[in-house]
């Protein structure tokens, strides 16, 4: 339970006896009923009513008995110095104190009213009265207390906390260095009193004004408020002040609680600290699945049994009375559950944990930091639904003689943010904004005559999250229904595929009396579309995400988001000419936003708010079929693999149909599947990518080149490797690299990426600490692609370690970046910030960078290497030294293909010879052993290798018969065969 910071709590029951209806102990078997003290002259809603009720409930002042069960507080009467002593004494918990037998004040005789309280005050040094000469002092008990003296009382009562008074006074009527200046400015800095706004940015304290009883209640209420860190893990976030009457209930208190809209029933031993007028707060527990925020109006205690607590709704500003400025809080997920429809497949949230063995990565390959997800939910699902047309049934979803199949893949995730600013029970600003991101992929296949619309339910998504305003949880629950829809009108054989990711902000904002809905225009990304048609047809595919979002299960917002794709395919036949077609496409979002119950729980009342915002946002239009050959659904679909790439402990396979598949370790989302799963042990499709023509990977990033010349990236963005200003530390879905087009080849060394454009120029982005970007300097890193200086007529690019490589059309090789072990091959070990020519090499037809050097394949079939030799790269029979110029690999001739993983290299003649050398700690050479070698060895198990590459300790090859092989380390599923067992010989990957 949250502990209130004032000692009077331990003595409440004794002090409040005059104001509470407490049954005498002699009849303890009967329930004990405790009610809130109320005053006839302090109506609910009046100024300082909350503070006065707290003062009474705490036993500091229970007012006067006016007879007939009526009590008065007399809020506007001035408070005298004797009463002030009593207030502070009770506020301190009525501590044990023996009043002196001789009064220290001549005007406060022994036994006088408040004698004990006044002498306790004097003993603590809070007030020692006035020296009237002759060794005598006066307290002047009936004199009213002024605001300046009140500041002094509270400052001393607080034990004179360390405080440096400001050089410039915050009040025009309290000059710097004047009487009680330190005490008054401390009071202001503590938020206990900020004075009056006199206009034009000027404030007054009015130090000589007297203190009325209502203002005294406010002073003590604010003083008793408990300052707590707004975010315990972020000191810069400042503090919030929690009301002194707040009780934050712990889960074990509520384990067996029975909670209704106006009662809480607890075991008596769990309710001992709950008093009338308390504000009870709870996060999500067994007993409070929607959280709890209520004010206590009555407590009925059954000794030895249960305690019935009667409540009424409270508001957030009653719990967090001051934020000390605008507080911004990110939603923290508590739970998330997706209940799928019977035929919906749900992607698991996590994969089995795998243990990695073998040598650790080098510092340059250290895994990047991946921030914990702040998403309040993140679920992926897939549906396949076939609907047949029906005749004679006008209410059927589809009419006609055809059938349609919808395949939908959806990822729904969201973040949430709250802003809050309060100033002692007064709400200044509050906003709650939910930012959903909906990834929808639809493939609609239709044949025959069809007209109508069909809906398929994907499921229900329930989630709960909290905004932590210091120690106070603001609980939010979300319940959403997700449906996929399609409509058709025409008679054709059609395949229409569409994909987009829609992100938008929805919520509300209240600021100083003004209320507005937040319903921003969505943004769309990852747009992909594909068409095949034999005749004309109109098609539409859409998704409905309808959610109700509540605070403490009471009130909040309703929202609906509907990403849609609609197209009219028109196929035209002209006599003697080929078919032509058009397919105007519109992608957009339909949205709805409304408010539930006025959201009173946040501290403002909209009355009967009925406005609902509805919008339709067309976001993208195109006619991708215009001027292109008509593709019919019956046209053959290409099969097989056309590309392979490997990250540190992950791999990618590019199929001939333009789809990309990934498996292995998923650090920083580098698989691109949209999942935060630790690892994937069988190939999974990379989200949102079609028409891919090339793939590159290294470290914890991957890149895809599409047929339109655009480049897409995902994984770590620590150095800006994603080439996209999205602002995250990583992305688990592909993002388009900005500022690039007409690209024909891509490469990466892990922290820096390279693109070769059709004009023969090379572009780079990401890390530049060693000059890897080829800009002539090492200044900065960034997501903006920049042209590598001095390179033209380039035909191939590669990355390795912290260096870049380019092969030009004249057969020369150029390198730039790190050169500590001769990686640049130019006869030096000095880094180069611009490309330099590799010495002594010409007639080169292929080259590849490695972690510490590079390989080149010449037209005569010989292989050359340069760089660090610690793992035998140079194949010279040693593991020592380096070469800063290319040296020929002995014993190899007639080579057609070369490749490398991080610490090993390979060469193949494309037929019956496949050679490997370098590191073999996990069997990555494929020869059936774990023996590292510094000379090429023949790998007998593979023939006809056309392409070979690898990751940290795992290797991959494509052979001429179309088969795909993997071998080496498999602790994170790198082999793609569904197991975690290493293999020292090549094994065929089952999925391909």
pLDDT at 574: 64
User: At residue 604, what are phi and psi to the nearest 5 degrees?
Assistant: -145, 160
User: Phi/psi of residue 237, each to 5°?
Assistant: -70, -10
Tell me the mean pLDDT in the region 902-922. 95
pLDDT on residue 728: 62
Count of other CB atoms within 10 angstroms of residue 159: 9
| Contacts for 553 with CB less than 8 Å, ≥ 6 apart | 289, 290, 291, 475, 477
Q: What is the mean pLDDT of residues 459-478?
A: 90
pLDDT-derived band of residue 755, with 50, 70 and 90 as boundaries?
very high
User: Rounded to an integer, what distance in angstroms lies between the CA atom of residue 976 and that of residue 942?
Assistant: 18
Q: What interhelical angle do 81-91 and 213-224 show, nearest 10?
A: 30
Average pLDDT over residues 539-552: 88
* CA angle, residues 317, 322, 327, in degrees to nearest 5: 90
The HSE-up count of residue 177 (CA atoms within 13 Å, CB side) is 1
Report, as an integer, the average pLDDT of 854-877. 96
DSSP conformation letters of 757-779: ETTS-EEEEE--TTSTT-SSS--
pLDDT at 370: 26
pLDDT of residue 29: 59
Residue 438 structure tokens: 């909906």
Give the pLDDT confidence score for residue 766 in this predicted structure.
93
> Which sign, positive or negative, has the C-alpha torsion 859, 864, 867, 869?
positive
Q: What is the pLDDT of residues 166-212, one digit of tens each?
A: 999 999 999 998 889 999 999 888 888 878 888 888 999 999 988 88
Between 432 and 16, where is the model more confident? 432
Between CA 518 and CA 114 the distance in angstroms is 57
| Residue 170 exposure: Cα atoms within 13 Å on the Cβ side | 18
**For position 365, what pLDDT does the model report?**
29
Give the mean pLDDT of 962-972: 95
**pLDDT > 90 fraction of the chain, expressed in percent and rounded:** 42
In this predicted structure, what is the pLDDT of residue 629? 83
Which pLDDT value is given to residue 367?
A: 27
What is the chain's mean pLDDT, rounded? 86
The number of angstroms, rounded, from the C-alpha of 707 to the middle of its chain's C-alpha atoms is 33
Residue 577's pLDDT band (boundaries 50, 70, 90)?
low
Is the pLDDT at 231 greater than 90, yes or no? Answer: no
pLDDT tens string 363-409? 332 222 222 346 888 888 888 888 887 766 667 788 887 888 888 88
Number of other residues whose CB lies within 10 A of the CB of residue 236: 6
At residue 811, the pLDDT reads 96
3-state secondary structure string across 790-848? CCCCEEEEEEECCEEEEEECCCCEEEEECCCCCCCCCCCCCCEEEEEECCCCCCEEEEE
- Provide the pLDDT for residue 278: 92
Q: Is the predicted pLDDT of residue 534 greater than 90, yes or no?
A: no
Confidence of residue 714 (pLDDT cuts 50, 70, 90): very high
936 burial (CB, 10 Å; 0-12 / 13-18 / 19+) is: buried
Q: Residue 528: is its pLDDT beyond 90?
A: no
Number of neighbours of residue 52 by Cβ within 10 angstroms: 26
The answer to whether residue 864 scores a pLDDT higher than 70 is yes
Sign for the pseudo-dihedral over CA of 90, 95, 98, 103:
negative
pLDDT score at 364? 33
Percent of the chain with pLDDT over 70: 91
Q: pTM for the full model?
A: 0.66
Q: Quick one: pLDDT at residue 942?
A: 92
- Determine whether 286 is exposed, middle or buried from the number of CB atoms within 10 Å of its CB (0-12, 13-18, 19+): exposed
Strand ordering across the sheet containing 904-908: 897-900, 904-908, 914-918, 933-938
* Mean pLDDT across 488-502: 86
Rounded CA Rg of the chain: 37
The continuous run of DSSP H or E covering 123 comes out as: helix 115-123
Indicate the helix (H) or strand (E) that contains 220.
helix 213-224
Q: What is the pLDDT of residue 336?
A: 87
pLDDT in tens, 786-827: 999 999 999 999 999 999 999 999 999 999 999 999 999 999
Give the DSSP letter string of 674-715.
S---SEEEEEEEPTT--SEEEEEEETTEEEEEETTS-EEEEE
Mean pLDDT is lowest, of 46-60, 692-706, 950-964, for 46-60
Q: Which residues contact 888 (CB under 8 A, 6 or more apart)?
A: 862, 863, 864
More confident residue, 910 or 348: 910
């Amino acid at each position: 339970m949250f502990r209130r910071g004032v000692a009077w709590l331990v003595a409440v029951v004794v002090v409040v006896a005059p104001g509470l209806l407490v049954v005498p102990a002699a009849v303890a078997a009967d329930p004990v009923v405790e009610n809130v003290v109320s005053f006839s002259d302090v109506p609910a809603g009046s100024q300082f009513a909350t503070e006065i009720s707290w003062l009474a409930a705490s036993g500091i002042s229970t007012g006067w008995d006016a007879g007939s069960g009526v009590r008065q507080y007399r809020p506007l009467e001035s408070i005298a110095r004797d009463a002030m002593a009593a207030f502070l004494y009770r506020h301190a918990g009525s501590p044990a104190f023996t009043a002196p037998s001789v009064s220290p004040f001549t005007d406060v005789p022994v036994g006088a009213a408040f004698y004990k309280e006044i002498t306790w005050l004097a003993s603590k040094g809070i007030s020692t009265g006035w020296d009237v000469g002759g060794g005598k002092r006066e307290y002047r008990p009936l004199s009213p207390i002024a605001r300046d003296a009140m500041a002094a009382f509270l400052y001393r009562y607080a034990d004179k906390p360390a405080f440096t008074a400001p050089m410039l006074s915050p009040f025009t009527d309290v000059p710097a260095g004047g009487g009680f200046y330190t005490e008054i400015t401390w009071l202001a800095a503590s938020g206990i009193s900020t004075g009056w706004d006199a206009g034009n940015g000027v404030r007054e304290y009015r130090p000589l004004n007297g203190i009325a009883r209502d203002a005294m209640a406010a002073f003590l209420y604010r003083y008793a408020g408990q300052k707590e860190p707004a975010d315990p893990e972020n000191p810069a976030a400042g503090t919030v002040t929690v009301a002194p009457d707040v009780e934050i209930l712990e889960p074990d208190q509520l384990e067996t609680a029975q909670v209704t809209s106006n009662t809480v029933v607890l075991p008596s031993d769990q309710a001992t600290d709950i008093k009338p007028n308390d504000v009870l707060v709870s996060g999500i527990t067994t007993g409070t699945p929607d959280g709890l925020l209520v004010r206590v109006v009555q407590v009925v205690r059954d000794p030895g049994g249960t305690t019935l607590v009667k409540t009424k709704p409270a508001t957030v500003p009653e719990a967090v009375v001051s934020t000390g400025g605008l507080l911004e809080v990110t939603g923290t997920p508590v739970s998330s559950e997706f209940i799928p429809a019977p035929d919906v497949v749900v992607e698991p949230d996590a994969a089995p944990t795998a243990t990695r063995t073998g040598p650790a990565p080098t510092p340059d390959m250290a895994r990047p930091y991946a921030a914990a997800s702040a998403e309040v939910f993140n679920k992926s699902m897939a549906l396949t639904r076939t609907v047949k047309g029906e005749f004679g049934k006008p209410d059927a979803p589809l009419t006609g003689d055809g059938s349609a199949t919808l395949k939908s893949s959806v990822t729904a995730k969201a973040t949430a943010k709250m802003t809050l600013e309060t100033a002692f029970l007064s709400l200044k600003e509050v906003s709650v904004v939910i930012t959903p991101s909906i990834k929808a992929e639809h493939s609609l296949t239709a044949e025959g005559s069809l007209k109508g619309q069909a809906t398929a339910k994907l499921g229900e998504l329930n989630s709960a999250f909290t905004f932590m305003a210091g120690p106070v949880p603001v609980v939010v629950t979300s319940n959403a229904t997700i449906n996929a829809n399609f409509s058709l009108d025409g008679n054709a054989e059609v395949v229409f595929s569409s994909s987009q990711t829609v992100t938008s902000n929805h919520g509300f904002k209240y600021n100083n009396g003004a209320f507005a809905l937040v319903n921003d225009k969505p943004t769309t990304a990852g747009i992909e579309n594909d068409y095949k048609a034999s005749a004309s047809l109109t098609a539409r595919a859409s998704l409905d995400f309808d959610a109700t979002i509540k605070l403490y299960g009471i009130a909040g917002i309703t929202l609906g988001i509907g990403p849609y794709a609609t197209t009219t395919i028109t196929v035209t036949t002209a006599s003697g000419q080929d078919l032509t077609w058009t397919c105007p496409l519109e992608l957009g979002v339909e949205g709805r936003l409304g408010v539930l119950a006025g959201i009173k729980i946040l501290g403002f009342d909209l009355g009967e708010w009925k406005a609902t915002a509805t919008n339709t946002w067309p976001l993208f239009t195109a006619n991708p079929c215009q001027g292109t050959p008509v593709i019919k659904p019956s046209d053959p679909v290409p099969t097989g693999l056309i590309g392979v790439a490997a990250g540190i402990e992950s791999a990618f396979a590019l199929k001939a149909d333009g789809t990309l598949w990934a498996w292995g370790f998923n650090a920083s989302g580098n698989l691109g599947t949209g999942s935060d799963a630790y690892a994937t042990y069988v190939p999974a499709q990379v989200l949102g990518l079609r028409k891919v023509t090339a793939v590159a990977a290294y470290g914890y990033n991957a890149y895809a080149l599409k047929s339109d010349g655009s480049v897409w990236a995902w994984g770590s963005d620590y150095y800006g490797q994603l080439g996209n200003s999205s602002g995250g530390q990583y992305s688990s879905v592909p993002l388009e690299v900005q500022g690039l087009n007409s690209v024909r080849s891509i490469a990466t060394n892990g922290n820096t990426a390279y693109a070769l454009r059709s004009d023969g120029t090379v572009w780079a982005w990401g890390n530049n600490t060693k000059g890897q970007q080829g800009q002539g300097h090492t200044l900065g890193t960034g997501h903006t692609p920049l042209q590598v200086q001095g390179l033209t007529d380039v035909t191939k690019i590669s990355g390795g370690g912290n260096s870049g490589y380019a092969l030009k059309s004249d057969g020369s090789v150029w390198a730039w970046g790190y050169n500590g072990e001769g990686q640049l091959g130019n006869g030096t070990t000095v880094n180069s910030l611009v490309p330099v020519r590799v010495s002594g090499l010409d007639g080169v037809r292929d080259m590849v960078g490695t972690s510490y050097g590079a390989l080149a394949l010449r037209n005569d079939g010989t292989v050359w290497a340069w760089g660090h030799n610690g793992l035998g790269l140079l194949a010279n029979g040693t593991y020592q030294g380096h070469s800063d110029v290319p040296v020929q690999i002995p014993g190899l001739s007639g080579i057609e293909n070369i490749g490398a993983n991080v610490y090993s290299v390979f060469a193949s003649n494309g037929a019956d010879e496949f050679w490997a050398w370098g590191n073999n700690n996990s069997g990555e050479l494929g020869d059936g052993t774990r023996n590292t070698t510094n000379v090429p060895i023949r790998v007998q198990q593979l023939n006809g290798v056309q392409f070979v590459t690898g990751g940290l300790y795992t290797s991959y090859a494509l052979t001429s018969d179309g088969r795909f092989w993997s071998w080496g380390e498999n602790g994170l599923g790198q082999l793609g065969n569904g197991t975690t067992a290493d293999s020292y010989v090549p094994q065929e990957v089952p999925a391909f």
